[in-house]
């Protein structure tokens, strides 16, 4: 059993290598006592030393004990207005305007299997491992609000999840002004915070800051998880490296507005919270109604960041991604976007497809511009009717021609958006978010459809179903190309509910589409990686990582992405040079090596590359197949940071039979120092042959002694080095 309950009040969640503990004290406050390396379930509440702290008051149950204050205790559910002045998770507003939320332990139950959240993604049980669930009910002292805290345990994976459900069991309506999903209080020690921040075309750069008394906060109020701040964070002991130190991950399973903050309190406790952003959030819970907050995936590693990443990669790959393509090899694709942009016709597409098919590419993806009036990005969104004139025939005919070449066929959609210059907008202007009496903000000259409305979703489902059932389509790139604002629903929901209901609407449409087309491969996208989050992986096992296809910039984007998200989730393509985003020219081979660390494809017209590069395409595709198991299900090791003069990473398969090291030089120097590398993840006792020199040494020697390259590669040059394990005798 991964969930141990002692004395009906002490809850210890055990994973293979970590423990999480809570204790409902004599006043029924649910204390957080521990999260970290595995312990043996003794009550660690005794580590909490209380004191009479000035200006930190005492709840009535303290009965004169001036040392008992909610303002100083580590808690599972800090709430508003009852004397904890730190960050709260639940904020209520009662009918009389008061905001007190005084939650006390009421009961618990332990359930087999992992829990589901209505209308939202969550980790699920697979054939190999089932989770266990602990549900703790907390009752509000003076109202009829009950909070149910859900804890899921995946023992083997070293993962613990948390989610929150707020129920109104009374008659009076109550406003929920804030409802975060998770609070982690660290009573002792210093911590650093790693966040993944950026912008369009430069997502998920790693930032690391010490956590002090000044609050560190990230979040999004853009209606999407965003390019700017990824909904995932790592807290770690100072000095933690890839291989050493304690680190804790928090990863939100949500694609809408979110907040994460970490701050040290007056006595040194560090509180980290995560959940839906409280800005423009307010749900009115009437009698019998409930609100579900999204899941947070927690994981701890006592052996550094690489281990933490492996734990996230595995759980997301095996318990979040679903459908056929969770396990089936992803097709090597060619996307026409950077090859043609909007300027294509059937002839051009077939020429790209024909060349690609001859070189071993397995799928053509037709990007933006095939529907409605859409020859640039100013019109047509919402009019999901095939532009047969532009395509010189039906989509079915085009799809069949592609299939006849032995390739699959994929299609781009941007379902959540509407152009003002579209028939859909002319017919239903109220389907777009805009506030009566105000001009809406435009972004890429488009508006956002109100996905909280059933009729909007029905329209989109009908249109997409029509297109996907008429033409032979194997893949959909689901795009979303602007931030949301001007929140006002003509569908009747109050503004405080719309951001969340909008995202629930997106999930609903995705779910229903996949129910109808279970074999479809979805690739998520939002101007590249603007919605690269765990929740989207529930629907699309791969996500276009960034609109930036420059192989050198990609080193840092893919490096930052790798802390939480598996390589199989990373859409990564070889594109033309000079690169369309940066103007940089990087050798074809290097572009291939970088794209191999992802779900692989091309984004250029192969009729316009040299014969030699075409040969390299064949070689790259052969490598993709040869190393698929390593790159897509193996363990991923960051061997360096991306900012130095070289960037290197490695994949090691589960049996430790093979390791593939990739190295890219990011700059050149005169009289260069030699390049030395240490491999990771090998079996120390096994002999491995290095493809570079042919030398055979033990895994221990390769990992500790490493190898020095006999020459220094030039700027932007790259290498793949394979370490093959010799037969074990
Ligand atoms: C976004 C995507 C691109 C491409 C364009 C099409 O920017 O990220 O890959 O699909 O939209 O308009």
Q: How does pLDDT run across 645-672, given as a tens digit for each residue?
A: 999 999 999 999 999 999 999 999 999 9
Is any ligand 1 atom within 6 A of the Cβ of residue 203?
Answer: no
Active site residue 533: yes
Q: Which atom of ligand 1 is nearest to the CA of 412?
A: 10
Is any ligand 1 atom within 6 A of the Cβ of residue 527?
Answer: yes
Is any ligand 1 atom within 6 A of the Cβ of residue 338?
Answer: no
729 has a pLDDT exceeding 90:
no
**Dist CA 410 CA 208 (whole Å):** 39
Nearest CA to ligand 1 atom 7: 527
Summarize the confidence of residues 298-312 as an average pLDDT: 98
Is any ligand 1 atom within 6 A of the Cβ of residue 367?
Answer: yes
Q: Choose one of 202, 224, 344, 367 to mutate for the ligand 1 pocket test, by most ligand atoms within 8 angstroms of C-beta.
A: 367
- For ligand 1, the distance from its centroid to the CA atom of residue 392, given in whole angstroms, is 23
**Dist CA 6 CA 24 (whole Å):** 11
The active-site residue out of 416, 533, 653, 657 is 533
| pLDDT given for residue 416 in this prediction | 98
The active-site residue out of 185, 203, 265, 613 is 613
Q: Which atom of ligand 1 is nearest to the CA of 377?
A: 12
**Dist CA 479 CA 412 (whole Å):** 7
| pLDDT given for residue 727 in this prediction | 83
Angle at 283 between CA 281 and CA 288, to 5 degrees: 160
Summarize the confidence of residues 396-405 as an average pLDDT: 98
Q: Are 353 and 366 in contact (CB under 8 A)?
A: no
Model confidence at 1, in pLDDT bands (50, 70, 90)? confident
Q: Which atom of ligand 1 is nearest to the CA of 477?
A: 10
341 has a pLDDT exceeding 60:
yes
Computed over every residue of the chain, the mean pLDDT equals 97
CA dihedral 503, 504, 509, 512 (to 10 degrees): 150
- Tell me the torsion sign for CA atoms 622, 624, 627, 629: negative
Q: Are 336 and 344 in contact (CB under 8 A)?
A: yes
Nearest CA to ligand 1 atom 8: 527
Model confidence at 602, in pLDDT bands (50, 70, 90)? very high
Report the percent of the chain where pLDDT is more than 90: 99
622 has a pLDDT exceeding 70:
yes
- For ligand 1, the distance from its centroid to the CA atom of residue 479, given in whole angstroms, is 7
Q: Which atom of ligand 1 is nearest to the CA of 526?
A: 8
Nearest CA to ligand 1 atom 2: 527
Model confidence at 85, in pLDDT bands (50, 70, 90)? very high
How many CA atoms lie within 13 Å of 369's alpha carbon, on the beta-carbon side? 21
Angle at 125 between CA 122 and CA 131, to 5 degrees: 90
Is any ligand 1 atom within 6 A of the Cβ of residue 528?
Answer: yes
Q: Are 283 and 176 in contact (CB under 8 A)?
A: yes
Nearest CA to ligand 1 atom 11: 527
Is any ligand 1 atom within 6 A of the Cβ of residue 371?
Answer: no
- For ligand 1, the distance from its centroid to the CA atom of residue 207, given in whole angstroms, is 27
Active site residue 613: yes
Partner residues linked to 447 by β-bridges:
418
Which helix (H) or strand (E) segment holds residue 679: the answer is none
Return the residue matching tokens 């707020």: 166
Return the residue matching tokens 């090691």: 652
Alpha helices in 538-662 (DSSP H): 551-561, 588-595, 611-626, 628-633
Nearest CA to ligand 1 atom 6: 368
- For ligand 1, the distance from its centroid to the CA atom of residue 527, given in whole angstroms, is 5
Summarize the confidence of residues 500-526 as an average pLDDT: 98
**Dist CA 597 CA 567 (whole Å):** 6
């Amino acid at each position: 059993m991964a969930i141990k309950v002692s004395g009906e009040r002490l809850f210890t969640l055990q994973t293979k290598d970590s423990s999480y503990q809570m204790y409902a004290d004599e006043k029924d406050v649910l204390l957080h006592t521990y999260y970290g390396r595995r312990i043996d379930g003794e009550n660690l509440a005794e580590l909490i030393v209380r004191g009479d702290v000035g200006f930190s008051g005492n709840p009535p149950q303290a009965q004169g004990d001036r040392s008992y204050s909610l303002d100083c205790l580590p808690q599972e559910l800090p709430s508003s207005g009852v004397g904890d002045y730190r960050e709260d998770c639940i904020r209520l507003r009662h009918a009389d305007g008061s905001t007190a939320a005084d939650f006390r332990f009421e009961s618990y139950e332990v359930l087999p299997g992992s829990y589901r959240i209505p209308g939202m993604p969550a980790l699920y049980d697979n054939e190999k491992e089932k989770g266990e669930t602990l549900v703790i009910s907390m009752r509000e002292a003076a109202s009829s609000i009950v909070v149910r805290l859900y804890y899921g345990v995946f023992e083997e994976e070293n993962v613990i999840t948390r989610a929150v459900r707020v129920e109104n069991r009374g008659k009076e309506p109550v406003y929920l002004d804030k409802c975060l999903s998770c609070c982690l209080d660290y009573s002792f020690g210093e911590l650093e915070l790693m966040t993944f921040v950026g912008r369009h075309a430069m997502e998920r750069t790693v930032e690391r800051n010490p956590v002090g008394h000044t609050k560190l906060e990230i979040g999004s109020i853009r209606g999407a998880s965003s390019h700017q701040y990824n909904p995932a964070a790592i807290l770690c002991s100072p000095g933690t490296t890839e291989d050493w130190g304690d680190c804790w991950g928090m990863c939100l399973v949500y694609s809408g507005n979110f907040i994460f903050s970490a701050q040290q309190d007056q006595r040194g406790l560090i509180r980290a919270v995560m959940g839906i952003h409280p800005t423009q959030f307010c749900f009115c819970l009437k009698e019998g109604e409930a609100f579900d907050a999204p899941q947070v995936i927690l994981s701890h590693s006592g052996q550094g960041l690489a281990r933490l990443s492996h734990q996230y990669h595995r759980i997301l790959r095996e318990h979040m991604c679903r459908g056929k393509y969770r396990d089936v090899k992803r097709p090597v694709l060619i996307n026409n976007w950077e090859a043609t942009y909007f300027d294509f016709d059937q002839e051009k597409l077939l020429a790209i497809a024909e060349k690609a098919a001859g070189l071993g590419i397995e799928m053509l993806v037709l990007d933006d511009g095939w529907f409605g009036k859409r020859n640039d990005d100013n019109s047509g969104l919402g009019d999901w009717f095939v532009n047969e004139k532009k395509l010189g025939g039906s989509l079915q005919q085009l799809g069949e021609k592609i299939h006849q070449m032995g390739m699959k066929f994929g299609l781009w959609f941007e379902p959540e958006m509407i152009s003002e210059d579209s028939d859909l907008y002319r017919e239903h202007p109220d389907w777009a978010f805009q506030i009566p009496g105000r001009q809406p903000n435009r972004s890429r000259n488009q508006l956002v459809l109100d996905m909280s409305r059933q009729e909007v979703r029905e329209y989109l489902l009908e249109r997409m179903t029509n297109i996907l059932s008429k033409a032979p389509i194997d893949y959909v790139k689901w795009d979303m190309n602007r931030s949301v604002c001007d929140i006002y629903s003509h569908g009747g929901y109050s503004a405080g509910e719309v951001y969340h209901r909008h995202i629930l609407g997106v999930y609903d449409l995705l779910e229903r589409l996949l129910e109808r087309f279970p074999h479809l491969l979805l690739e998520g996208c939002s101007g590249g990686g603007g919605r690269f989050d765990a929740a989207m992986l529930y629907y699309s096992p791969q996500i276009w990582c960034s609109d930036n296809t420059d192989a050198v910039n990609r080193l840092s984007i893919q490096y930052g992405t790798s802390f939480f998200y598996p390589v199989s989730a990373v859409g990564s393509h070889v594109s033309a040079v000079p690169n369309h985003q940066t103007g940089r020219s990087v050798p074809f081979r290097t572009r291939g090596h970088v794209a191999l660390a992802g779900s692989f494809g091309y984004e250029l017209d192969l009729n316009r590359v040299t014969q030699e590069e075409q040969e390299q395409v064949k070689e790259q595709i052969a490598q993709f197949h040869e190393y698929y198991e390593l790159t897509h299900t193996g363990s991923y090791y960051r061997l360096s940071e991306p900012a130095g003069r070289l960037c290197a990473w490695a994949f090691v398969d589960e049996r430790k039979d093979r390791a593939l090291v990739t190295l890219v030089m990011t700059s050149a120097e005169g009289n260069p120092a030699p390049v030395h590398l240490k491999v990771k993840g090998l079996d120390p006792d096994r002999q491995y042959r290095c493809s570079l020199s042919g030398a055979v040494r033990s895994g221990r020697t390769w990992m500790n002694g490493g190898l020095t390259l006999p020459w220094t590669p030039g700027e932007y040059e790259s290498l793949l080095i394979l370490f093959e394990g010799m037969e074990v005798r």
